[in-house]
Each structure stands twice: as structure tokens, then as C-alpha cells.
Amino acid sequence: MAINDSDTVYIDVDDALKRVGGNRALYKKLLGRFVDGNYFELIENAIKSGSKEDSARQAHTLKGVSANLSLERVRALSLALEEKIKSGEDCSGSLADLKEAYGATLQKIAEVE
């Protein structure tokens, strides 16, 4: 089962359940921790501070967490942001895209049964 909008996959529940041995309760617990986390705020603050190293590390962390939870849209956009940060490119557009996807994903998590 995938939770998506039109052609955008936000959460691949089946893939995530494989990672947790089919334990739906554990997966929901991990999703709850993600919701309670402040991952986007940490990235945003790191970028505002001007620390390229910290910004890339925060984007990398969000990429890893979202990959482990099969939060596909956030994973893809975190990867893109991390690459832009590391290359020194302007990342404002990528950050805005990630913010939108992050918010949508938080809402979509409520749909996981």
C-alpha cells in the first residue's frame, strides 16, 4: 500500500513494513517519533546559521530517517537538498519544496492504519 496524491508517493507502507518485519505497531510508533521530531526545523536553522557542514548533516539525517520509514517524497527532496548544500548551490527552492512535502507527509502519516 502506498499513500500518495495523484502521481506523488509520500509513504510506501509495504516497503516500510518489510523493514520492521511486518510489525505494524512498531512502524506506527516510529512514525509517531518522526512526527514528534523537529527535523525540518533543524535543517532550516542550520541553513539560516550559514553552516554548510551542519546544514548538510541535518539534510543527511532527514534523508536517512525518511528512507528507513519509506517516506519517499521527503527522502527524495532531502537528498536533493543535501546535494545542493554540498555543492554550494542556492538551495532556497529545494528547501521550500522540502518544507511543503514535509508538511504533507506529516498529514499523510495520519492515514497509516
The predicted-structure confidence for 52-110, as pLDDT tens digits, reads as follows 999 999 999 999 999 999 999 999 999 999 999 999 999 999 999 999 999 999 999 99
Q: Which domain holds residue 73?
A: 2-109
Q: Which amino acid is at 89?
A: E
When divided into structural domains, the chain yields a total of 1
The C-alpha torsion from 88 through 90 and 96 to 101, rounded to 10°, is -40
Q: Domain containing 47 — which CATH number?
A: 1.20.120
* Confidence band for 51, pLDDT divided at 50, 70 and 90: very high
pTM, two decimal places? 0.90
Instruction: Return the pLDDT at 64.
Output: 96
Count H helices and E strands in the chain, helices first.
6, 2
d(CA 113, CA 107): 13
Is-contact 30 17, C-beta < 8 A?
A: no
